[in-house]
Amino acid sequence: MLYHVVEHPKYPVPYITGPEYQLIDDENWEEVNGFALEPWQRCAVDYAMYVPDFETRKLNPAGEWNTSKIVFDNGHVSYWLNGQMTVEFDAWTPDWYARKDSGKWENAPEYGLARKGHICLQDHGYPAWFKNIKIRELPAKPEEKDLFNGEDLTGWDLYGTDLWYVENGELICESGPDNTYGYLATRDYYDDFDLTLEFKQEANGNSGVFFRSFVQQPAIVNGWQVEVAPKGHDTAGIYESYGRGWLVQIPDEQEEILKEGEWNTLRILAEGDRVQTWLNGEPMVDITDEKVGAGRGRIALQIHDGGGIKVRWRNLHLKTL
């Protein structure tokens, strides 16, 4: 039984995004299949992540009904089997990321990051029966935080060979040796949010801010980008990195709002189907789009290919909605 599953044509199977409460016949597995289950594969575990105390776990044998429950409350998680809690953990903590990045999911960068999504019942080649499936949605707790701590890249993942480093409290990106696209992505997902940040372009300055985006290794980011580029190239416009391309470009008369070689303030407000952007306090984009509204994912800073690019960032402040 999987939850928080994100559907997208680029995801071949549900379990590379959705955590799994394992349902399996522990008692008869080895006799039927000829090999034993690993502890992380047994019933009522958080599959390949957290395991219970099997000595106290109460599992009814095959042919009898069992009652399972998952409680996911703003990242605090507990699994229950026949009225008894089997595992309890907090998602998106250093311990959680260490388990994710060192085991079965180390090559599944989006595993377990979504904060909402589909529920999925899995068929693994054996008959199973389900009944009395019920759900109660728990309210999300608003969060306010600085995405960049001014000291290091804690909370971010680097994709590509470009350079990302901290200098004098500023986050800096520069073209790397391969002159290809590069990304610095938040480790966490932020779907509905109000983000403000400052940027200063040096050299070419062609960059951008992705939102509701996800990563394909080694360095492909799919999602929507609020453009950051030299004057005349639609800074604060919205581009879709797959499929439709530009959703909104910036009229020529608004290009002068960008201050080249100086600090600029960019604001992105994403709530449901609606996305708005402001540049230096001036409204730039107001779009309502169902496909954008269905998106889930990270915030990611981009550096364009071609080489010779350098951009400075600071004061990345986010409020979740």
> Hey, what amino acid is at 234?
D
Cβ distance 27 to 62 under 8 Å?
yes
Mean pLDDT, residues 192-207 taken together? 93
Query: Residue 180 pLDDT > 80, yes or no?
Result: yes
Task: List the domains of the chain with CATH numbers.
Answer: 2-120 (2.60.120.560), 144-320 (2.60.120.560)
Q: Which of the four pLDDT bands, split at 50, 70 and 90, describes residue 91?
A: very high
pTM for the predicted model, two decimal places: 0.91
Question: Residue 281 CB: number of other CB atoms within 10 A?
Answer: 8
Q: Name the residue among 310, 62, 85, 87 with its Cα closest to residue 206.
A: 310
Strand partners, 285: 277
Query: Residue 217 pLDDT > 80, yes or no?
Result: no
Q: Name the residue among 148, 157, 165, 206 with its Cα closest to residue 183.
A: 157
Cα–Cα distance for residue pair 271/236, rounded to 1 Å: 17
Q: Strand ranges (DSSP E) for the chain? A: 2-5, 68-73, 76-81, 84-90, 118-120, 144-146, 156-159, 163-167, 170-174, 182-186, 193-203, 207-216, 220-228, 238-240, 245-248, 264-271, 274-279, 282-288, 298-303, 309-320
Cβ distance 199 to 264 under 8 Å?
yes
CA distances from 28 to 1, 25, 40 (A): 20, 6, 17
Cα–Cα distance for residue pair 62/76, rounded to 1 Å: 30
Q: Which of the four pLDDT bands, split at 50, 70 and 90, describes residue 312?
A: very high
pLDDT at residue 219, rounded to an integer: 80
Q: Which residue has the higher pLDDT, 10 or 209?
A: 209
Tokens 């540049």 belong to which residue? Answer: 279
Cβ distance 234 to 223 under 8 Å?
no
Cβ distance 79 to 69 under 8 Å?
yes
- Could you tell me how many residues make up the chain? 321
Mean pLDDT, residues 262-288 taken together? 98
Which pair of structure tokens corresponds to residue 76? 């605090």
What is the percentage of the chain residues whose pLDDT exceeds 70?
100
